[in-house]
Structures are given as C-alpha cells and as structure tokens.
Amino acid sequence: MKIAAIIVAAGRGTRAGAGTPKQWRDLAGRSVLARSLAAFAAFDRVLVVLHPDDMARGLAEFGGRVTLVAGGESRSQSVRNALELLDGSGISHVLIHDGARPLVSGALIARVLTALDGAAAAAPALAVTDALWRGDAGRVSGTVSREGLFRAQTPQGFHFDAILAAHRAFPEGGADDVELARRAGLEVAIVSGEEDNLKLTYAQDFARAEQILGAKMDVRTGNGYDVHAFCVGDHVWLCGVRVAHGRGLLGHSDADVGMHALTDALYGALAMGDIGRHFPPSDPQWKGAASHIFLAHAAELVRTQGYRIANVDVTLVCEHPKIGPHAAEMAQVLAKILGVKAGRVSVKATTSERLGFTGREEGIAALATATLVSA
C-alpha cells in the first residue's frame, strides 16, 4: 500500500470573516494549514492544493516538504488537479482532507485506512443526534427525521484508481468526493468520526479550536547546566557570538557554555538525555565542532517529537567578559537556530559576587530552561 494525502486549501474562507484566508490564520502558534498537514507527515506523498495567489506563500512556509498544486474553480476541480498529478506515480490509496480541519487525529486517520482494506471508499461521520427542522421566514415550517443521517467529515479515503475514474466520469463535480464515488457506483464505508475534528468555518470556530487544543496541550520543561574552564586564548564563544576576551574556554567542541546548557535543556524537556548521549565526546568527529550543530539537532528533535518551543531562557554566570552589550545579538542568533521569534528567547547574565570558581574567574557557568508545548 502506497498512500498519498491531498489537503484541499484553495478556498478563500469568507464566512470566517474578512482578512487572511482561514487556512493561513494562526491557531495556537501555528497556521491552520500547518496543523492539518502535520497529521499526514508520515505519508508517502502529501499534496497541498492552494489558490494560485497563495503558491508563493505555500512555498515559503512548507518548502520542499510537500507538493503544491494550484486549485481550480471548484473544490472538485481542485481535488482532480491533485489526483491527475498523482496518476502513474504508483499511489494505491489516497486520503482527501479539508485544510480547514486542523484537529484531525491519528486514530481517525488509522480508522479510515483500515476500512479501505475491505472497501473501495471510506469516510468518517457522526450520527445526527439533534432534532432537525425546516425553516421559512424565521419560523419553523416542518421537521425532518434524523434517522440514518450523518454529519460528514474528512479525511475521505479511496482506492486511488477508483476515485480518479469517478472524477473523470463526473467533471461537473459534487458536494464532496464521497458524492462522486457513489455516483460512480462505489460503496462507501462509514467509520466513526470525532467531535474535535471540526471544520473551521465561522470566526467563532477558532475559539472552540483553541479550547480543544488547550485541553489537549502537553507542556514540558527542561533545565540545562554547563561549565567550561578558561584557557589560553583571545575570545570566547557564548550563545553563538564570538566575544573578545583575554582568555578562551576549554572544551571538546567550541566550548560555547550557553549553547550547551540550552541544548541540554531541550533534550531534558524531551526526556532524551544530554549532549553526551547524542554527540559523545569520545567521538573525534565532534572535536572542535561548532555548538550550533548540537542546538539545531535538539531543535529538530523538538519538532519531530510533536512539540514546539514556547520559550527558552539562558543565564550566563561570570565576572568577565561583560554579557550585556552582546545579549540582544545572542538572543537573535539562538532564535534563528531554534526557528522561533526572538521574543521567545531570553539571554541574561549575572555574577557570583566574586564567590566560587566563577568569582575567581576560573571559568564560566550557564543555566538554561526550555519550555515546550505540544504542537
């Protein structure tokens, strides 16, 4: 089984209010579309269908991680554009998902895929439980039986060849891909949907999604501590900045004590050990290595483990050199490596009032704290 995901995000979302289309709006620190994409990151192919005006933005945000497809005049045409692009690629199954459903779970996706073992098409849905009325001129004009009625959701899954043939047979399109599949004679299996898998349609839906994410949010904190002794030299590396000084710092790598402490804080928040586990000092390839390699590795692990960096805080403990003139630049350098805004990075310094090894100017110590939240 070779599976592709098509994320449809070419609409303008006018019902969600004026301004930025809803798929690009922020939802708890990430765009709606980025959250939708994350659920399908492990698929063999991921295609994102965008409005032609959004292609440059999509390239900037998602780079080469996905295939971008220009949308058509209708949702059905947008989906067909992506399906045609996949034709001949060896894809056996495809899941088609609304980009405005950013809270889809891995369990729901798995249910759809499992159902495709015994059916050419499968889709999640929720049974209608509320009473249904017809209305006219602001008054109830009748009732409708809810027996056998379901609220459709996505992702809707299909055997690839079957859904491509359905789109080609009915180029006029339909309300969704299940409608086209049924017109083509395909039986569609229903799997259990999820209330949290809401489609962001109106402005108030964003508040509900924020509440759902808040209830599910996993917050982790890690601490790091590192010390390096002074040695012969004319500069030190601190938080990625070369600072002139009458001595250097002794270490297996470049001895950037601040960056080392922060790297360990990130590993600690993930419960994944420390620098020594990932970059053993016994390995000669890391001798003299630039510490940004270690920090970038930890930041990438944060992302692959499903978290994002909420904030980090580094404290350098030394009498000299003076950190204040360089603190802002240090924060900028760390933010770039971590892939976060500078406002989420703090770098500060203190002395030990001439006490201890830092007070005697025998070396520099650093403490760091990192807070991660589930993405």
Distances (CA, A) of 312 to 150, 219, 239, 299, 371: 46, 13, 12, 11, 6
pLDDT at 29: 81
Least confidently predicted of 11-25, 32-46, 111-125, 207-221: 11-25
Is the pLDDT score of 217 beyond 80? no
Higher pLDDT, 305 or 241: 241
Planar angle of CA 343, 363, 249, nearest 5 degrees:
80
Kindly report the average pLDDT of the chain as a whole number: 93
Q: pTM higher than 0.75 for the full model?
A: no
Dihedral sign for Cα atoms in the order 8, 10, 16, 22? positive
Domains and CATH numbers, the chain: 3-216 (3.90.550.10), 219-374 (3.30.1330.50)
**Are 7 and 33 a contacting pair, CB within 8 Å?**
yes
DSSP at 24? G
Each residue of 30-74: pLDDT tens digit?
899 999 999 998 899 999 999 999 999 999 988 778 999 999 999
Each residue of 70-124: pLDDT tens digit?
999 999 999 999 999 999 999 999 999 999 999 999 999 999 999 999 999 999 9
Residue 14: pLDDT band by 50, 70, 90 thresholds?
A: low
Residue 6, H or E segment: strand 3-9
Give the residue ranges of DSSP H helices in the chain: 32-38, 55-62, 75-86, 106-115, 160-169, 177-183, 203-216, 257-269, 275-278, 292-304, 327-338, 356-359
* Residue 113 tokens, joined: 């895929």
Each residue of 361-374: pLDDT tens digit?
999 999 999 999 98
